[in-house]
């Protein structure tokens, strides 16, 4: 049986032995790799952490999984709440433009209307109002905690830059953090020497 010298203690060791029986040092047959002849389960595996191909495949799988989840969420929301709501959910997740309001509001004279706004992410809020028919109005953007003060005709706090008084054309845009708000429309006319109500085109959008 061929013998080799242990590289650690110099003891004669069989070339088939994996360790020196005297000092326990792993043996190395000249001209052969330490892993040659080892079972596949014992061979050291390559580190794939820095393998570009493996990382690319993992990234593609992750993108496919996320896309599939978004698709499922979109279908569920569409089924229960409609396509517009589903599109808004997708836009909120991806931080895309969201049309929060686009409708005509009827505001009776000497009254107020509070339109609820929910901003899913912080971004640029743009508000366009146009009184198609009716009276001048006051406009304010407030946080939910101020709405009772508005209804009670008490002094209240509003977001500076989104306020206007006695206007028929209103355009405002500015950075607003995520959360809940009210867009308050107030008609202070008495409806005697003025219109009994106003038709107001309201458009509100949120962008990153």
What pLDDT, on a 0 to 100 scale, did the predictor assign at position 122?
93
- Residue-wise pLDDT tens digits, 29-87: 555 554 555 555 555 555 555 667 777 888 888 888 887 887 787 677 666 767 666 65
The model's pTM: 0.60
Per-residue HEC secondary structure of 12-71 comes to EEECCCCECCCCCCECCCCCCCCCCCCCCCCCCCCCCCCCHHHHHHHHHHHHHHHHHHHH
What pLDDT, on a 0 to 100 scale, did the predictor assign at position 50?
60
pLDDT beneath 70: ranges in the chain = 1, 28-51, 74, 77-79, 81, 83-94, 191-193
């Amino acid at each position: 049986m061929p013998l080799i010298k242990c590289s650690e203690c110099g003891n004669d060791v069989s070339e088939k032995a994996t360790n020196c029986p005297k000092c326990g040092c792993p043996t190395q047959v000249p001209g052969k790799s330490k892993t040659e002849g080892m079972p596949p389960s014992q061979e050291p595996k390559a580190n794939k952490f820095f393998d570009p191909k493996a990382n690319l495949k993992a990234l593609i799988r992750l993108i496919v999984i996320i896309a599939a989840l978004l698709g499922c969420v979109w279908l569920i929301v569409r089924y229960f709440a409609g396509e517009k709501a589903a599109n808004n959910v997708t836009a909120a997740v991806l931080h895309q433009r969201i049309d929060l309001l686009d409708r005509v509001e009827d505001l009776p004279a000497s009254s107020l209307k509070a339109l609820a706004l929910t901003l899913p992410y912080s971004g640029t809020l743009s508000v366009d109002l146009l009184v198609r028919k009716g009276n001048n109005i006051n406009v304010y953007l407030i946080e939910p905690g101020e709405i009772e003060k508005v209804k009670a005709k008490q002094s209240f706090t509003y977001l500076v830059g989104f306020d206007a008084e006695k206007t028929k054309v209103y355009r405002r845009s500015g950075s607003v953090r995520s959360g809940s708000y009210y867009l308050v429309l107030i008609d202070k006319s008495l409806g005697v020497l003025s219109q009994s109500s106003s038709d107001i085109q309201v458009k509100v959008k949120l962008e990153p």
